[in-house]
Structure 1
Amino acid sequence: MQLLSKDAKSSLKQSREGWAMPLALLALAVGAFGIGTTEFVIMGLLPQIAADYGVTIPTAGLLVTGYALGVVIGAPLLTVLGTRVSRKTMLMGLMGLFVLGNLLSAFAPSFGMMLVGRVVASLAHGSFFGIGSVVAAGLVAPQKKAGAIALMFTGLTVANIVGVPLGTFIGQAVGWRTTFAIVAALGVIGLLGIAKLVPALPRPEGARLRGELTAFRNPQVLLAMAMTVLGFGGVFAAITYIAPMMTEVAGYADGAVTWLLVLFGIGMFLGNLLGGRYADRALMPMLYVTLGGLAVVLALFTVTAHNQALAAVTVFLVGALGFATVPPLQKRVLDHAHGAPTLASAVNIGAFNLGNALAAWLGGLVIAAGHGYTSPNWVGAVLAAAALGLAFWSAALERRTPAPAAAQAETGGAPAPTLVHH
C-alpha cells in the first residue's frame, strides 16, 4: 500500500484544520453553479433559440432531452475512462469539457451544432458531481461527509436562485448566446479554482472498471439509486409542468413563473443544507421524513394549485423536501460502495437525471390523457411514496445483513473514500 504523498498529506492536513477545506469546496461549488445554470437556463430561453434557428418549440425541447440523456450516458462512461488519472486531474478535465460544450452552444451556426454543444457540456455533468462528491467527502472527517457533499451541491441550488433567472434575463435582453458565453466563463473560473485549491489526492489502488463495478453487486447501492430515480422523479413530475399549472390553474401571469422558480430554487438551497446537516446525524430517519413529506406535499399540490398563495408555498416545499434527499442519498451510495465509490457516485448523479426524464414523460402522458395540468402531481406523489417504501426496505435489509464498512463509516471508523491507498 502506498501512502499519501508528502504534499497531499500537507494539503489534507490544512484542509482538516479548517482554512483550505472550505476554499476547496468553494471551488467545487463554483463548478456546480455553472453546471446548474446551463442545465436549467435553457428552459427559459427555448422560445428565443427556436426563433433564431427557425425550429418549433417541441424541436427546441430536444436541447433539454439531449442534455438529460447526455448526463445519464456520460456519468459512467467518463468516470470509467478517468480511473487512470487522479480525481483532481479528472475534475479539471471535466470542467474543460464543460467549457468547450458551452462555447459550442454560444457560437453554434445551426441547431444541430447547438444540440452537439449541449450534449458535450452534459457529458461532464454526472462525472463532475459524482467525483466531486467523493472528493468533498474525503476532505472532512467521516461524520461530516454529508455536510461537505451538501456544500458542493449548494452551487447547484444557488444556480436556480441566481444563475437561471439572471441567465434568462441576460438572454432575453441581449441574446441567448451571451448567456452561454458567460456560463463558459464560469466554467473557466471553476477550473482554475480546482487547479489551485483542491488537494492533489491520489486515486485508489486498482481503480479499474472491474473494481468499480463491484459496488453494483451491493443491493444497498442499487436501492439507494432506485430511491434517487423515484424520489427526485417525484419532484420533476410537478416542476416540469409548473408553468402551465401556475398560469392556467393558479391564475398567475406568465412573468410570475420566473419568480416562482426562484422560490423553488430557494427551497432547494435550504433543503440541501438541512439534508446535509441532519443526514450526518441520522441518515435513514432523514430520508423517511423527506420522502414521506414530499409524497404528502405533492398529493396536496393537486388542491393547493388552485390558490396562488398556497401554490407558492407548495412550490417552495417541493424544492426543499426534494433536495433534502440529495446529500443523504449520495452519502448512502458512498457508504455502501466501499473501496470503489467513484463510478457508483457518478451513476447516482445520472440517476437523478433519469428520474427527471422518467417523471417528465409520465407527467406528459397523464396531461395528454386529459387529466389536467395538476395530474402530474399525483404521479410525483406516487413516485415519492414508492421511494419511501424502498427506504424502509433498505433499512430492513440492512438490519438483517449489516454491512461492516457502512457501520464503520457511520461510527467514524472508516477512512474517507478519497484517502484509500493508491
Structure 2
Amino acid sequence: MTRAYPAGQALALDHGQAAGIDSLTSLVWLTLGAFAIGTEGFMIAGLLPALACDLDVGLPAAGHLVTAFSLTYAIGAPVMAVLTAGLERRRVLAIAMGGFALGNLLAALAAGYAELLAARLLLALSAGSFMPAASGYAAALGGPERRGRALSTVTTGLTLAIILGVPLGVLVGQGFGWRATFFGVAGLAAFSLLGILARLPRQPSGAMPGLGERLALAKRRDISGALVTSVLTVAGTFTVYTYLAAFMASVAGLGPQALAPVLLGFGMASAVGTQLSGSAADRWGARRIVVLGAGLTLLAYLAFVLSAALGPARAMPILLPAILLWGLASWGLIAAQQARLVALAPALAPVSLSMNASAIYLGSAMGAAAGALTIADGAVERLGWVAAGFGLAALLSVRLNGSSASGRARG
C-alpha cells in the first residue's frame, strides 16, 4: 500500500513506527507472565513454615518443594526449548502460561504433600518453557534497534516480582492461608494468557541451537568456569533464602510479621544491585564486578554468622543491614555474570545465557537441599556458615577461572 502511493510514504513510516511502539506495548502481557512466575517462584520461601504445618511435614521436606522445582527447571528448560523449537512462538507462550495457570490451581487445591510436589513440577516445566520463549519472542519483535528495550520489558516482570510480588504474596499467605497465594498467581497467569492470545501477534519459529551445540559450548573452560560461579553463588543465596523465616526467628527472634518487610527490603536492594552492576560492568569490566559482588556476598554471610553468635538481643543491628547487602551484592553478581558470559562468546550469547539460567536453578536446588540438611540436623543458625562456604567457593572459582583464562591468553 505504501509503495503504491509515494506521496504518503512519510505518513506511512510514521504509522509503521507507531505500530512498532504498539507491538512493544503488547509485551506487557509477557511482563505480567514473568511477574506471575517470579512471584510464585520466590514467595514460597516465605510460606514454607505454614506449608509444613498444614501438610504435616517437616520444614526440610517442605524445602524440597524448592529443590524439586529448581532442579526440574534447570534440566527441563533446555530440553523444552529444543522440543518446542519448531512451533509458532505465540503458541508456545500460550501453552506454557496455560500450564503455569493450571499448575497454580492444582497447587492451591492439593490435598497433600505429594500432590503439591507434582504441581510444582508442572510449574517448573511451564516456567522453564515460558521465560526463554518470552525473551526470544521479545528480542525478535523488537528487532536490532529495540532489542534491549524489548528484553528489559519482559525482565521487568521478574524485578517487580522480587520487589512487590513476593512480599505481597507472603502477606496474602499470612492473612488468608498459603492456598490463597496460589489462587492469586493462577489468576495472574490466566490474565496473562488471555492477553497473549488476544494481543500478541503470531511469530514463526526461528533458529534454535540444539543440545549438541549447547554441550559443545559448555566444554569450553572459560564458559564452564563462569557457569560454576553462577551455580555456587545461587547455592549460597538459596541456602538462606529458602529458610529465611526460620533463620530470622532463630537468630534474631523475629516473628512471621517481620518477614514481608524484610523481603521487601531484600527485593529493593536486589533491584538496585542489578541496575548498578550492569553499568559498572560496562565501565570497569564484568569480571571485576563479579569478584566484588562475590566478596561482598561472602561478607554478608559472615555477618549472618556473627549475628547468630551474638544472640537474639544483639543480632538485629547486624542482621538487617547484612540482608540488604546480601540482596544488593548477590543479585548484582548474577547480572554481571550475564555480561561476562556475553563477552566470552558474543556470537553464542543466546546459548550461554540459557545455560546460565539452568545453572542458576541448579544452584537454587543445591542451596535449598543444603539448607534442608542443615535444618534437619537442628542447626538453623548454621545456615550462615553453609552459605559462606558456597560464597567462598564462588569467589575462588572466579579467581581460578580468571587466572587460567589469563594464562591461556598469554600462551
From 273, 292, 301, the equivalent of 1:298 is 301
Distance apart, 1:320 and its partner CA: 1.3
CA shift in 2, pair 1:227/1:381, >3 Å: closer
From 379, 383, 403, the equivalent of 2:393 is 383
CA shift in 2, pair 1:374/1:234, >3 Å: closer
Q: Which residue of 2 aligns with 1:174?
A: 176
Amino acid at match of 1:309: P
Say if 1:150 and 1:272, in contact at 8 Å, map to a contact too. no
CA shift in 2, pair 1:311/1:123, >3 Å: same
Say if 1:298 and 1:377, in contact at 8 Å, map to a contact too. yes
Q: Which runs of 5+ in 2 are unaligned?
A: 1-12
Distance apart, 1:201 and its partner CA: 5.0
Higher helix share: 2
Say if 1:150 and 1:273, in contact at 8 Å, map to a contact too. no
Q: Which residue of 2 aligns with 1:98?
A: 100
Calculate the aligned-residue CA RMSD, in Å: 3.6
From 229, 236, 257, the equivalent of 1:234 is 236
Q: Which residue of 2 aligns with 1:354?
A: 362
Say if 1:140 and 1:148, in contact at 8 Å, map to a contact too. yes
Superposed, 1:139-218 pairs within 5 Å as 149=151, 152-195=154-197, 200=202, 202-205=204-207, 207-218=209-220
Distance in 2 between residues matched to 1:61 and 1:337, nearest whole Å: 36
Distance apart, 1:377 and its partner CA: 4.1
Distance in 2 between residues matched to 1:210 and 1:75, nearest whole Å: 15
Number of equivalences: 389
Distance in 1 between residues matched to 2:329 and 2:19, nearest whole Å: 30
Distance apart, 1:75 and its partner CA: 1.3
User: Which one has the largest radius of gyration?
Assistant: 2
Distance apart, 1:315 and its partner CA: 0.3
Say if 1:99 and 1:185, in contact at 8 Å, map to a contact too. yes
Distance in 2 between residues matched to 1:324 and 1:273, nearest whole Å: 7
Amino acid at match of 2:117: L
Distance in 1 between residues matched to 2:86 and 2:20, nearest whole Å: 30
What secondary structure sits across from 2:254 in the alignment? coil
From 353, 358, 366, the equivalent of 1:345 is 353
Query: TM-score when scaled to structure 2?
Result: 0.79
Q: Which residue of 2 aligns with 1:115?
A: 117
Say if 1:276 and 1:328, in contact at 8 Å, map to a contact too. yes
What secondary structure sits across from 1:83 in the alignment? coil
Residue 294 (structure 2) pairs with residue 284 (structure 1): no
Distance apart, 1:143 and its partner CA: 10
Q: Which residue of 2 aligns with 1:46?
A: 48
Distance in 2 between residues matched to 1:303 and 1:143, nearest whole Å: 49
CA shift in 2, pair 1:110/1:311, >3 Å: closer
CA shift in 2, pair 1:248/1:54, >3 Å: closer
Percent of residue pairs identical: 33
Distance in 1 between residues matched to 2:222 and 2:27, nearest whole Å: 27
Say if 1:91 and 1:194, in contact at 8 Å, map to a contact too. yes
Distance in 2 between residues matched to 1:142 and 1:291, nearest whole Å: 33
Say if 1:131 and 1:345, in contact at 8 Å, map to a contact too. no
CA shift in 2, pair 1:96/1:279, >3 Å: farther
